[in-house]
Amino acid sequence: MDKKPYVIVLGNEKGGTGKSTTAMHLVTALLRLGYQVGTVDIDARQGTLSRYIDNRRHYTETNKVNLPLPQHYRLTRSAEDSTKTAQEQDKATFEKIYQELGDKDFIVIDTPGHDLYLSRLAHSYADTLITPLNDSFVDLDVLVHLKHDSMEMEKPSIYADWVWEQKKHRAMRDRGSIDWIVLRNRLSSIHANNKQKMEGVLNKMSKRLAFRMVPGFSERVIFKELFMQGLTLLDLTDIGRPLKLSHVAARQELRDLMNAINLPPLQKKVAEAFK
């Protein structure tokens, strides 16, 4: 990898898709692989990632266990009335944090489920953008608007449009590129026929919108149940909890996501650590 940090952004203009939970599991996996990791919570108002990390810190202190923690920053938007001044301040704050995390191997950034200047700026710094998407046509609308009488694309969504804009900003700033991954979470309540339709539409859209589709998590409740303690599936063995079959399956899904990031040094470590 390059000397500068590799930036992973969790982004989606819809809430409730699992961005923060996915971010925390990625962060913990990277830390356990021996990488230095910084985290930034752009969604400071809701602050789910920040609370997750606070819960983790509290658990380690209360239970006297040594669990890896990232260097974390909460980023709150400027309160200036002037849009121009506020954006200048937000950009300066973001760039200061980015510089302070310059010695890290990875920076993982969690963004809010709504349009925000800071969120767009963070997207423009991504090496990998991960967009969790629940397996439903409601969530698909975040990426693309379909014609009412067919499953053909009418036009890209606002979010897809501004991901494209941030790709251009990234290329102009440092000639870098953004690898866009759509993480397709599987919801068992969705009828099989709808799942097939979703898959067909996403396969078509992946070529039009330039993203890669990766299987996501089928049992997100397993990932969520550990939030209050700040734990992840990768911590269970260390704290003496036996792994259930559902935990083993979820670990495999996380391993697949880690490998999908497509960094050869990372994939080698994942293969060794997730045996």
HSE toward the beta carbon, residue 190, CA cutoff 13 A: 19
Residues whose CB is less than 8 angstroms from the CB of residue 169 and which lie 6 or more positions away in sequence, other chains included: 124
Structure tokens given for 98: 């980015």
How is the beta sheet containing 37-41 ordered, strand by strand?
71-74, 37-41, 106-110, 6-10, 128-134, 179-185, 212-215
- Domains of the chain plus CATH, in order, are 6-273 (3.40.50.300)
Predicted model pTM = 0.91
The length of the chain, given as a count of residues: 275
Backbone angles phi, psi at 182, to 5 degrees: -100, 115
From first to last of its 275 residues, the chain has per-residue pLDDT tens of: 457 899 999 998 777 778 888 999 999 999 999 999 999 999 667 788 999 999 999 999 999 999 999 999 999 888 898 999 999 999 999 999 999 999 999 999 999 877 889 999 999 999 999 998 877 777 777 777 777 666 676 777 888 888 999 999 999 999 999 999 998 876 554 556 667 777 777 888 888 888 898 887 776 666 677 888 999 988 988 888 888 887 888 888 888 889 888 887 888 788 777 76
The sign one gets for the Cα dihedral 253, 70, 242, 20 is negative
